[in-house]
Chains A and B, each alone.
Chain A
Amino acid sequence: MARAIRALLLGWRLERAELAAVGVVAIGLSVIAIGIARHLDLIVARCRVVGYGVAPCGGLRELGQVYDASTNTQMWLTVQLLAVLPFVAGLVLGAPLVARELEQRTALVAWPMAVSRVRWLARRVLPIALLGSIVLAVPAMAGEILVRSMYPLLDPATNFEGYGTRGPLLELRFLLALAISVLVGTLVGRQLPAVLVAGALVVGAGIGLEQLQPLWVEPVEQAAAQHPIDHVGSQFVRQRYRDANGGWMRDEDAWALLVTANEDQPQTGLPEEVMFVIPRERYGDVVLRESAALVAVIGGVSLALIRLLQRKRPG
């Protein structure tokens, strides 16, 4: 226990400024997210009293979402910042961890004195990973609260809104960014170049995860909705057109047919628009699969890091 506390204190001492910066941003964003959630809860409560004919209660109520124009902008901005936060936190905490030791040449002393380089690395990386995860647990929970308030009629566990900005994915994405950044920092051996290179890689990882999201499970044709809320919370993947015989059409051919259709004539033989979605009930499956993939990639990057560290010259 005492060793664990000593390791955490060492982590704090090594990256005081970086941890403080990540902490301030994470806590600040969480406070904003919870503030917006509380504001939305008040709107919902008020709408239940005054009825849904009054702005801002009308219109979107049937979609399970109630908000006004100003909170709409704040919500959008907060969700975007929550999406970026784990990557920035991983980059800021990870890139200087080994790069600083190499740049300031303290690795020349530290590595020969350590029992092994791997143990030396573990004593640096693990406390930072733990402290970062603890700090990011707050926005991960705040994101869940925000999505629950944004869609009061849906369970956040069956809703793709705010995907990646809440729950365990936020933590795992942080760990991925941290592992990539430590690896790049070790490879480059200088802080600012490491931040730049790792930043580019982390942005690439973020974009890649965004593109991969619709691929974790097989999308299905969206069923006809009984109520407007039936389609809310599902992940849209693509749109296709089906002809009268049930075959798939090229988009351009479908548009040409739709444009030439006469509104006064009966609408027969027109292409049918078909949406492919991942139903919201599969949110848990998608999170689980991405989590498993992230754990595997983090493991791979960590192994590469250990191999690199064992061969790296300290000066």
Chain B
Amino acid sequence: MRAFSRWARLSFRLQRWEVLASIAGVALHAGLALWFAWQLRGIAAGEPACPDPNAYVPGCEALSQRFRGLADWATGLLYLSWGAPFAMGLLLGVPIVSREIESGTAATAWTLSRSRIRWLLGRVAFAAAVLVMLLAVVTVVSGVLAVAIMPNLHLERDFTWIGRRDWLIVGRGLAALGLGVLIGAALGRLLPGLLAAAFASVVVFAGLSLAMDRWNETLTVVVDPSGLPDAAPESSGALHVGQRIELPSGELVSWSDTALVGDVQVIDERGRLYTAFDDETGMPDPTTFVGWDRALVVPGDRYPQVVARDCAVTIGVGLLALGGGMAVIRRRRPA
């Protein structure tokens, strides 16, 4: 117990500024999120019909206006929830090794510890624990806020604001932490490390997002997007993965496949696609009919499954990056 307390105290002292800044940021975010949620819930509880953006209810104008005004600000907080794991993960991860190298203390620290890997794991464990605790707070309050903003949706089976109100926030934070450790160790300088890690995060997470989109295609169903959501109940709360053209033969082809479908110029209100107008009538030329506009969507009830596997993959990437960081510091000179 005493060893644990000493480790925690020492680790905190080494990363005091980053930890305190993260705590301050999360406290501010949580405070604001809970205040907005309280205000929005108050309005919704008083007049349950007023917050529905799809319905006009006489007498609701002032309340509805106030609800939407508050909801606009609250939605901004959910953008912060999206950005928080990247910012905090890098802020806590990059300095762990780079600051020691830059300030010349790595030589002493690495020589004094039993092994460099053990030293690194001790440092990363503290940062990861702080990160998980703080991001768990962000996740919970963001979930509460999202429900308050959209009281009429079933957000537990709805992809709206995925990654801004679920455990993907924690997963992404851990991945950013691993990436920060790797790049901080490789560059050995704090600020350049932070910048390079930010660049690398953009690339890695964009790639990850594209890869997950491809994987999510295995869960998709084909729907007619022209009358969403009434025409296709499965598209309510769904994750939009791609757009396709359904040929009269029933085959689905990509929009970029112009060799097959030609240059589509017109979509009518029923989702029918044509390549030209009739010059005389000004209407779509029926002889140039190509097929129907179709959307590939993952139904809303798959939301927990998609979040869970996205989380697992993201944490896996973080662990890989951490492994890379270990490999770097095993071979690296401490100065």
What residues of chain A have their CB less than 8 Å away from a CB belonging to chain B?
17-18, 21, 24, 53-55, 92, 95-96, 100, 103-104, 190-193, 195-196, 251-252, 255-256, 258-259
Contacts and interface: CB of A to CB of B under 8 A. Distances in A.
Given A18-B195, A259-B59, A54 B265 contact: yes
B17 A54 contact: no
Contact of B17 (A17, A24, A92, A190): A190
B195 A255 contact: no
A54 B278 CA distance: 12
A117 B191 CA distance: 24
B17 A196 contact: yes
A259 B61 contact: yes
A108 to B, nearest CB: 15
B18 interface: yes
A21 B195 contact: yes
A85 B265 CA distance: 37
Contacts of A55: 266-267
The size class of the interface chain B forms with chain A is 20 to 34
A196 B90 CA distance: 13
Interface string B195-208: 11001000000000
Instruction: Specify the main secondary structure of chain A where it touches its partner.
Output: helix
Contacts of A192: 17-18, 91, 95, 99, 190-191, 194
B190 to A, nearest CB: 6
A55 B274 CA distance: 13
Contacts of A258: 61
B189 interface: yes
Contacts of B277: 54
A95 B59 CA distance: 53
Contacts of B231: none
A53 B189 CA distance: 58
Nearest to A25: B199
B191 A255 contact: no
Residue of A21, A53, A100 contacting most chain B CB atoms (<10 Å): A21
Interface in B45-82: 58-59, 61-62, 65
B97 to A, nearest CB: 14
B58 A259 contact: yes
A192 B21 CA distance: 11
B103 A104 contact: yes
A191 B192 CA distance: 11
B265 A17 contact: no
Interface string B173-213: 00000000000000001111011100100000000000000
16 contacts: A17-B189, A18-B191, A21-B195, A21-B199, A54-B277, A95-B191, A96-B191, A191-B191, A192-B17, A192-B18, A193-B21, A195-B191, A196-B17, A255-B62, A255-B65, A259-B59
B282 interface: yes
Given A53-B282, A192-B17, A195-B191, 5 more contacts: A54-B265, A55-B267, A191-B191, A192-B95, A259-B58
Closest 3 CB pairs of A and B: A17-B192, A21-B195, A193-B17
Contacts of B199: 21, 24
A96 B194 CA distance: 12
Q: Which interface residue of B21, B196, B265, B277 has the most chain A CB atoms within 10 A?
A: B21
Nearest to A193: B17
Which has the most chain A C-beta neighbours within 10 Å: B65, B102, B194, B282? B194
A95 B17 CA distance: 15
A192 B61 CA distance: 48
Nearest to B60: A259
Contact of B190 (A54, A191, A255): A191
Contacts of B102: 104
Nearest to A22: B195
A181 to B, nearest CB: 12
A202 B320 CA distance: 35
Interface string B1-45: 000000000000000011001000000000000000000000000
A284 to B, nearest CB: 31
B77 to A, nearest CB: 15
B27 to A, nearest CB: 14
A17 B199 CA distance: 12
A18 B62 CA distance: 50
Contacts of B95: 192
A88 to B, nearest CB: 10
Nearest to B59: A259
